[in-house]
Structures are given as C-alpha cells and as structure tokens.
Structure 1
Amino acid sequence: MHWLGKKWDEVAKELLQNNIDFIYKVTFPAGKVTSTGDLRVARVGFADGRLLFILLHD
C-alpha cells in the first residue's frame, strides 16, 4: 500500500478528503517511553469492513 512509512497527518488528510472509512491504533514500546516525533503508518489491514492503520512514533 502506498501509505506505509508516511506521516499520519498526511494520510489522515487524504483519507478524509476521499471519504474513506478507517480506524487506527497507536503502538507503544514496552516500558516507560516518552513519545516524540510524528506518527507514521507501520501497517495497513482491514477490520470490520474498514481500513485499519497501525501507527508508531518516529
């Protein structure tokens, strides 16, 4: 898929402009980690008839 590795802000904007139904989950590493940087698309799949995006921090 052409969204892998892209910044989530850009992907979400494209999805909303094209009226595409989606859900997303943000992954966090184990332990106490401070999240910094942009969210990026790590994985794309389907769940409940919608696109499912797995996101991680840069």
Structure 2
Amino acid sequence: MRDLLTQVLDLQPDWSTGNSEEMRVRGMLVRDEIPAWLRANVPARDRPILVHGRTAWV
C-alpha cells in the first residue's frame, strides 16, 4: 500500500484536467489498484469490505 500511495503522491505535481500519461497512471492507481489492495488485505468483519476509488468529486 505504501508503494501505491507514494506513486499517487509522486504524480500529484503533474495533476491536470487533461488525460496525460501521468493522469492516466494516477487514475489507474486510485480507481483500480488501491481499491483492489484494500479488498485483498483488509479483513472482512461481518460482511465484505466495499471499496470504490474515484479521481473526481461528483
């Protein structure tokens, strides 16, 4: 998880509203890889953990 979050933070200085390569990679990390890591590594209590990564406020 530390590596994933470090990658996202390293990409933050390159943030833009456009679909640059940096933003594509950041989006993949936030929407796919970090939620997948959480689902696989956070123990479920009474029910499975629900995780959804987003890159924008909607």
Asked if Structure 1 and Structure 2 have the same fold, meaning a TM-score greater than 0.5 normalized by the shorter chain, the answer is no
Greater relative CO (CA pairs within 8 A, separation 6+):
1
Higher helix proportion: 2
Q: TM-score normalized by structure 2?
A: 0.22
Higher strand proportion: 1
